[in-house]
Amino acid sequence: MSVHSLRGFRDLLPPDSTRFAAIEAAAREVFALYGYQELRIPTIEMKELFVKSTGETTDIVEKEMYAFTDGGGREVAVRPEGTPGVVRAYIEQNLSQTGRNAKLFYIGNMFRAERPQAGRFREFEQIGAEHIGNAAPFADAETITMLVRLLEKAGLAACSVELNSLGCAECRKTYRQTLLDYLKQRAEMLCEPCRGRIERNPLRALDCKVDGPWLAEKAPKLTLCAACAEHFTRVQDLLKISGVPYNVNPNLVRGLDYYTRTVFEVRSSALGSQDAVCGGGRYDDLVKSMGGPAAPAIGWALGVDRLAMLLKDKPVADTSPAVFVVSAAAAAQDQAFRLLAAMRAGGVSADSSNFTLSLKSQMRSADKSGAAYALILGEDELKAGTVAIKPLKQAGDQQPVPFADAPSAITKLLEG
Ligand code: HAM
């Protein structure tokens, strides 16, 4: 049997891994500007956490969770998304009592047993932000603005936000019944899973990949109550103040159960059918329903794999070493080893291959490494207490420098 990776799980090598790191670094910078702090949540939680928060009738919980019974007989699940863990931590760690804003971000891998396709993986990375404890439309506008600034900082030009309001539990009460009646009358037109769950959650049909599109056209629309309508108008006014382009999309429903009021997505047609780069929204009732204080909240999660796909033609930072150390004689090997340490101690990135290989083989590795200079140590250099600097990316002769001066000489050359 040959060992291979599982479908939907992948290895990330440079330049992809470098691109992921650059996106994460951009995110950290933007989070600091907006007063967000990092929260690291566990990868595995009680299965019940996701069933109760992500929602029993969602695709994620119904068929995509990696859930299992652990050695101790506990029902656990590998996190399919970050929001439930953040909410659990907010409650468990009493984060409402700290006297400071609960503005939390996380960066981590999520797991969903979806059918893999372009832009859809079973293990993927999310960068997420959650602002808990602020009901005002300012929080919505700030969160969405931060997302757009982050995407810009990462290198994504001109993104527009799809925006909608799903109203509150009150506005949805009557709508739920209206929609249920409409769906029941057309039950034979619905796909199997939708038919099975309309009684439990008729709204889910609007987000169904099969029935969603025609229902979005034909099904009755939600009417917002006065307070939700006012909130939605304010969010739009504030987005205009922030200079964030958006498009009100009454068909945006999102695939998770906890949303109330504002929902949003950033999409890109360049991604094909899996076009959402980021999704989020308000979840004003979730913290309380999970046993915590009444704490309205809003957040989003960004799919790093998809953002990296959109940025694939942008150059990434060069991860090549600055210098490549080569030992040209058996007697020079220890000095070459010393030189590697001296370069690194002097802040110059340095690499080597195997000092016991031939000079030709080491020089070939030096060329392949992408280093700007080879530092060569042979019998002559050993005797003279020098190092030979040879440019690798441009023409030029070898130049000797005293061993102790090598780090500063290289730094000067790299700056010059
Ligand atoms: P979500 O829409 O399920 O929301 O996921 C957010 C983003 O994660 C998507 O827009 C997409 O870019 C990425 N994503 C999701 N599934 C996959 C996959 N199988 N492969 C690659 N990328 C994927 C949430 O997860 C919510 N927790 C967002 C949120 C936070 N709402 C409020 N706070």
Other beta carbons within 10 angstroms of residue 272's beta carbon come to 12
**For residues 210-219, average pLDDT:** 88
Atom of ligand 1 nearest to the CA of 126: 8
Q: Is residue 196 part of a domain?
A: no
pLDDT given for residue 34 in this prediction: 98
**Ligand 1 pocket: which of 110, 117, 121, 125 to mutate (most atoms <8 Å of CB)?**
110
**Same domain membership, residue 255 and residue 362:** no
Q: Is the domain of 306 the same as that of 329?
A: no
- DSSP SS3 for 218: helix
* 294 neighbors 343 (Cβ within 8 angstroms): no
The answer to whether the beta carbons of residues 379 and 331 sit under 8 Å apart is yes
Residue 207 forms part of a structural domain: no
Q: Do 229 and 374 belong together in one domain?
A: no
**So what's the pLDDT on residue 46?**
98
Q: Say if residue 294 is in the same domain as residue 388.
A: no
**Residue 4 falls within a domain, yes or no?**
no
Is 141 in the same domain as 259? yes
pLDDT at 159: 80
Q: Can you give the pTM of this predicted structure? A: 0.94
Q: For position 82, what pLDDT does the model report?
A: 98
Both 298 and 330 in one domain: the answer is no
Do 306 and 331 lie in one domain? The reply is no
Residue 8 lies in a domain: no
Which of the listed residues 279, 310, 341 is the one where a domain comes to its end?
Answer: 310
Say yes or no to pLDDT of 15 above 90. yes
Helix axes 137-154, 16-33, angle to 10 degrees: 140
164 contact partners, CB below 8 Å, separation of at least 6:
248, 249, 250, 251, 252, 253, 262, 263, 264
Ligand 1 pocket test, candidate residues 111, 117, 126, 161, most atoms within 8 A of CB? 126
Atom 21 (ligand 1) nearest CA:
120
Neighbours of 138 (CB within 10 A): 12
Ligand 1 centroid, distance to 303 Cα (angstroms): 6
Q: Is the pLDDT of residue 295 over 80?
A: yes
Examine residue 204 and state whether it is found in any structural domain, yes or no. Answer: no
The SS3 of residue 129 is: strand
Q: Which residues contact 211 (CB under 8 A, 6 or more apart)?
A: 189, 190, 191, 194, 205
Residues 355 and 238 in one domain: no
Do 120 and 266 lie in one domain? The reply is: yes
Ligand 1 atom 2, closest CA: 279
The verdict on 144 and 265 lying in the same domain is: yes
* Domain hosting residue 301, numbered range: 16-167+224-310
State the distance from the centre of ligand 1 to the C-alpha of 265, rounded, in angstroms: 10
From 286, 310, 334, give the residue that closes a domain: 310
If one counts the domains in the chain, the total is 2
Give the single-character DSSP code of 118.
Answer: T
User: CA dist 285 to 87, 193, 282, 302, 383, Å?
Assistant: 11, 26, 9, 22, 76
pLDDT at 402: 98
